[in-house]
Structure 1
């Protein structure tokens, strides 16, 4: 069957790429990825459940953690049907409209996660800089406003570049480089003028991911400055330990993004399998690791999880 199309109608289909060269191992890959997605869903649902049901966790830090878990859970839901569909063999193509919708959710949720990590950095700075006024500064009302601002920022800035995808002429081979749809994949197949997508896409990256990364770095410089002013060595270590989970979450999120960007930008000579692996790491690594990081590093969550396990026994 031909995979070349010149039509820009709703009936246009795009071929989802699995793992080139590993087709004979699809059964094991399908089992492995199914397990990963189950862990993503269970891990983030557990974090949300623990925070919702345990009154002692109704604090600003854990509200932001709940936002992070909800974002990670949504990211898993947005890609599970195509990734697992390709590996289990019941989905090989995706329509243009479905591809655009998936691209919107993937990029929007990435920007949302970046915004939540920035809010969590602000939370850590307030907790260390003004520990006695922490709860009075970050009230529930302010946290709600921050959450709404994050949602609006992540969802309302993307539609112009995503809607534009619907009106491009896709005359190149309709073969996606991943088992899910990314904006850069779609514009690569377009024969129309993509200047707006390139310029506006760069603006989104700079005004969201890059700006958030710079602000997170500045917040930690200020945190370090505050911590060094603390006289007691034990208090300095205790303050820094409250930031370990967040630092790990920041690295887990930004390192795969940088890696995927480098591969797309400079890795045209690399095997397609490298592109596929980096894309899946970018999508799945943060949602998988964040519940583990916070369960290990946050004493309150560990204690509640132990209580849950004792009640079940």
Structure 2
């Protein structure tokens, strides 16, 4: 794929600050990616195999972990390859594909978190209607929509980006992003800017919806000890994950649009990749430690594995 200006590849100038630390960064990248895969795949397998966890909240959690694997796979393998390569470039088609994967993954995160907030709202504020409002079938449909809507949205964003005539090929980051492509455009980018603002507004709306849901949940939870216990066990990890994802993406958006040239490149790089590092690694750990059913299942599996290992040693 070649854009209207004939650009075939983009150079990623964000790697200029990594030249002296390539081996160390490669090791940390490999370790981080393996850790992300381990914790997320483990949680997905545990939820999939344990029938007692086939409930709306755990189905959403499973989807959140699958999305973490999807999003980080769009970044880490290419990033690790670039660290060892002397030429830091990405093809035009590869750039658009990376934009699609990273942007859609971030939006899917917010969609799933919004769905989880609604689930907790119904469970605590409308407990008698929970099973009718959040049946497994309806949950599966809502989870599918939380994927399909962001994916469809990003198809539009990528198509708009692919129609821009570009006057440069240097992206000042470690990966491709839509705003970096827009800044390289020669002509007007009004449509891209409007669509971008609409998308940002929609997902700010997601955050406001989540916060409003939890205001209602807190009010209801204060009425009984059982509701307070349920809120502590199931809502606190969700709020921590929301704060985690929102802060990480806010840093990236603010840097992309308003980043100063006086900021050290190494700090820019960290701000740019933290939403691909911290939420995918921390979120499953938060849920695994706080959610009682998941924690008990993990402990049970660890104990069983330990007993089997001891039996093998005796034999």
TM-score by length of 2: 0.90
Match of 2:67 in 1: 71
Whichever structure has more helix as a proportion of its residues is 2
State whether structure 2 residue 36 is matched by structure 1 residue 40.
yes
Match of 1:138 in 2: 134
What does 1:1-313 correspond to in 2, within 5 Å?
8-9=5-6, 12-89=8-85, 92-172=88-168, 174-207=169-202, 209-230=203-224, 232=225, 235-268=227-260, 269-313=262-306
Output the CA distance in 1 between the equivalents of 2:230 and 2:96: 46
Displacement, 1:256? 1.0
Is contact 2:161-2:181 (8 Å) kept?
Answer: yes
Displacement, 1:12? 1.4
Output the CA distance in 1 between the equivalents of 2:247 and 2:153: 24
Output the CA distance in 1 between the equivalents of 2:57 and 2:297: 16
Structure 2 residue ranges without an equivalent (≥5): 307-315
Is contact 1:16-1:93 (8 Å) kept?
Answer: yes
Q: Let me know the Cα RMSD of the aligned residues.
A: 2.0
1:115-164 Cα distance to aligned partner (Å, 9 max, x none)? 00000001111111133443332111101210122122111122222112
Output the CA distance in 2 between the equivalents of 1:19 and 1:248: 31
1:152-191 Cα distance to aligned partner (Å, 9 max, x none)? 211112222211222222212x222222111011111121
With over 3 angstroms needed to count, the CA separation of the structure-2 counterparts of 1:29 and 1:214, relative to structure 1, is same
> Which range is displaced more, 158-167 or 274-283?
158-167
Output the CA distance in 2 between the equivalents of 1:67 and 1:130: 24
Q: How many residues align?
A: 304
Structure 1 residue ranges without an equivalent (≥5): 1-5
1:90-119 Cα distance to aligned partner (Å, 9 max, x none)? 762111111011101111111111000000
Output the CA distance in 2 between the equivalents of 1:166 and 1:109: 20
